[in-house]
Structure 1
Amino acid sequence: MIEFKSGKQVDFYKIASSRTKILTLLFFWMEIFIKNVSFLFIDELDAYFHYSLSKFILETLFSNDNIKQVALSSHATSLIDNEILRPDCYFVLNNKGKIKQFSEITDKKIEEYHNIEKMYRTEVFEYE
């Protein structure tokens, strides 16, 4: 329940937007349940959030010592960032359902100082 200055109380879930509900659930989930998670998979993390919030959530998850592995899917190229993950931790799924690491689908050497999002956008990683 949320109580306004007027004293009126309203059920939070009846007035909150879908994104606010998801963010609230994610916050609750991260504070309560994540303490016992060693492997975490999130499908389309960025679907409801601004890229900077998605990036913050990932950084928070990656800094959690309890989580040993994180796998996620995303359509947001803004999350392809060397500050989030090493270049060898990014994979692409083709339209046939096959998955390959970025380094497997390019003949260019990938270094940590490269802008791998820009490389992805310019189709350095071609995989059909």
Structure 2
Amino acid sequence: MAKKSKQYEYDLSEVKRLIGETDKNYREIAAETGCPYASVVYHGRKIRGRVNRMRQEELNIEEQQPVLSITEETTETPKMLSGGTALSISRSDVHIHDAEQEAAKMIKAARALGLNKVNITIDR
């Protein structure tokens, strides 16, 4: 015999308003509105993003620290691509947590263009 699902009575627009306009956590919103916690989390991630409040506070602290940037500069003669075009890829003001992904993207782009060497410089 199939299990009957629970039916909830809550105002979804009120849930979304509380998520967007207050700093209440998801458990407080679920308790106040009668909305299931999982639903509050689902809508909260769509509205607030996946970053929770504790992680957001960490990010705010990190934003006050200097941000490293990744730039690619060539010290040798640049490799010419078809049509005599030289490849130069640079990323500025990349946060240290995103640096590895950005470097991987630059390397992937260089491979896609048939290059076998790149120069990557990390500036302070």
Bigger share in helix: 2
Bigger share in strand: 1
With a CA cutoff of 8 Å and minimum separation of 6, indicate the structure with the bigger relative contact order.
2
> Could you tell me the TM-score, scaled by structure 2's length?
0.27
Structure showing greater radius of gyration is 2
